[in-house]
Each structure stands twice: as C-alpha cells, then as structure tokens.
Amino acid sequence: MKRILMTLFIISMLSGCNADKPVSQTIFAMDTVMEITAYTDTETLTEAINEINRLDSIWSASKKDSFVYKLNKDKTADADKDTLSLLNTEKEIFTISEGAFDPTVYPVVEEWGFISKDFHVPDEAVIQKLLKNVDFDKVTIQGNKVSLENKNASLDMGAAAKGYTSQKITDLFREKGVSSALVALGGNIQALGTKPDGSLWRIGIQDPDSEGYIGVVDVADKAVVTSGGYQRFFEENGVTYHHIINPKTGYPAGSGLVSATIVSSNGTKADCLSTAVFVMGLEKAAEMWQKSSDFAMILVDENKKIYVTEDIADNFTCETDFEIIRKEG
C-alpha cells in the first residue's frame, strides 16, 4: 500500500509538468515493484527494462543460473563488469561502515526466514554458529574470479542491487540524451536531471508509522534511498523483527533509528549506505558522514525525531522541527 502511495505521489508530481508526455512502465523485479518514468521514446524505455531484468537475473540469490547462486553453491564464480563494480562499492562501504554493511550476513537473514518467508526467531546457538561465516573480508576478487574463502559463507546483493540498477538506468538514459527521468525501484528513487520545466524532483520520505510522509526532499541528479525496519518484518510473541540484520549480533538492527535515507549522486553507494546507516545508528553514522563528502542523510529515530545533515537541509521540507547535523571544524 505504501509503495502504491509512493507511486501515486510521483505520478501526481509528473502530471504537474507541462512538457511532452513521459513514457512509463511498472514491472516487478528484485522482489519489488519498480516504476520507470522517462521523457524519452518507448524503445529506450524497453532497453532500460531489459537491463533491469538482466541485472536481476545475475544477482538473484534463488535463480539457479545467476552469478550469486553459483558463487554461493561452488564458492567461486566468474563475475561480469557490473558485478565487479558492485562488489567494489560494497567493499568500500563495508570498510567505512566498519562492517555494519556486510552482504555475507545472508545465511543469518535466511535463518530468520526473510528469504523463504517462513519467519521465526532462531535459536541463539544457531545465530552464533552462523555468525562465524560472516566476514566480507573473506570474499576475494582476483581478476574477474570471485571466491568465498570461508566454505560455509554465502552472500546476497539485496542491500545494494537496486541502487546499482537505478544508477545504471539513469546512466543509460543520460547516454541516450534523455535529460529528465525518475527511476523508482521500491524505496530506491533516482532522479535524472530536473523535471522538464526545470524544477527539482520532489521525493517524499515515507513516515515509518503511517502511509504518509515525514517530509519531502527536492533534488536533481540524485538518488534518494531509504532503509527502514517497517519495510519487511514479522511479529512473534508481540515483538517485531525486521530484515536488516546487525552483522555483529545476528539480530535485527536496533540502533535507535527507524529509518535512514541517503541522498547521493551515486545510487550504488546510496543503497549500501542506507542499510549501513540503519545498522550503525545516529552517532556512528554522523561520524562516518563527517569524514565523507559524497552523501547526505535524513534520519528518523524511535522518538520520531528527525536529523538532517546540513548538505541537504535547505532542500528538505517538513511540518515538524528537525535537527541539523553540521560539519565539524
């Protein structure tokens, strides 16, 4: 329902544009509803859709001929250019997040039932055993050969694939001379250029507690990616468990944040970072942001307090007060 509302929100913004009609298509890929809207021809749109499906078939953890499936089964597999590029960005975010972002947490995600949808709280002993296999440093890349040094390890691209894909699609549109498009892959939104009338794209940031928005961010040429515990979860004995796992504990991240939004011109980084920041929590995320210059954050904590980094504050509109995180020194 929330996703449908997001789509309607975007469409209503588009209908306010007084340029030529955009082409638009909705598909289901990477386990989510995707809506691509671009001021281009249907041929270019079809090319973009084909590319999404191609990347989905490489990175699906369940499709038997995918790269990820082969890697997890054989512990080694040859990667294509896109996969190498994705893995390199993942390595970078694994490092700067001090392991909060770690695709090898996958066996733990599976154990909680988030892949099979057979949800349950695992035994503590099982979690501890699985955690021994979690370490992205033990995923090695030599040439185009990717190997899992740890023979019980496996990984998935769930936290980064949509971000890489939105980046790839906006790059493809740009190369074709498209100057205005909105790529919405579930909660991953990437804007190409501005709206045709030159105004900024208005992206709603979902309210974790309702079907509305906590605010709106105005952007051009940026990805806006949100990770939140409200997206995929189950309840057992009155406790809610969500799908973003702290790789240090094996349990759903409980950092005090209920949602983490990253705004960046790099869609791949934005997706990795939204997951990382959700795990890290406010303080550690702010420290990481202090040392970086290529992303901004909009964070919501358990008390619904909103924190916005100064590099996006002027573009963020919200009905309630929010605290601005500033660069030190």
Binding site for ligand ADP (CB under 6 A): 101-103, 105, 109, 114, 156, 158-159, 186-187, 227, 231-232, 243-245, 247, 271, 274-275, 279
Does residue number 90 form part of the binding site for Mg ion (CB under 5 A)? no
Which three-class secondary structure state does DSSP give residue 316?
strand
Closest contact distance (angstroms) between CB of 238 and ligand ADP is 23
Closest contact distance (angstroms) between CB of 204 and ligand ADP is 16
Say which residue the tokens 């079809």 belong to: 46
Q: How many CB atoms lie within 10 A of CB 328?
A: 7
Does residue number 274 form part of the binding site for Mg ion (CB under 5 A)? yes
Which x/- pattern, by CB under 5 A, does the window 134-163 give for Mg ion? -------------------------x----
CA distances from 44 to 28, 38, 48, 61, 223 (A): 19, 9, 6, 28, 20
Of 178 and 299, the one with the shorter C-beta distance to ligand ADP is 299
Of 109 and 178, the one with the shorter C-beta distance to ligand ADP is 109
Could you tell me the sign of the dihedral formed by the alpha carbons of 318, 319, 322, 324, in that order? positive
Cα 218 from Cα 247, distance rounded (Å): 33
Closest contact distance (angstroms) between CB of 271 and Mg ion is 4
Which three-class secondary structure state does DSSP give residue 218?
strand
Cα 67 from Cα 58, distance rounded (Å): 5
Cα 164 from Cα 89, distance rounded (Å): 9
Of 40 and 274, the one with the shorter C-beta distance to ligand ADP is 274
Residue of 61, 271, 278, 295 interacting with Mg ion (CB under 5 A)? 271
Does residue number 276 form part of the binding site for Mg ion (CB under 5 A)? no
Which window, 56-64, 122-130, 272-280, 284-292, contacts Mg ion (CB under 5 A)?
272-280
Which window, 134-142, 172-180, 254-262, 268-276, contacts Mg ion (CB under 5 A)?
268-276
Which three-class secondary structure state does DSSP give residue 194?
coil
Of residues 35 through 74, those in contact with Mg ion by CB under 5 A are none
Phi, psi torsion values for 191, nearest 5 degrees = -100, 135
Residues that bind Mg ion (CB under 5 A): 159, 271, 274-275
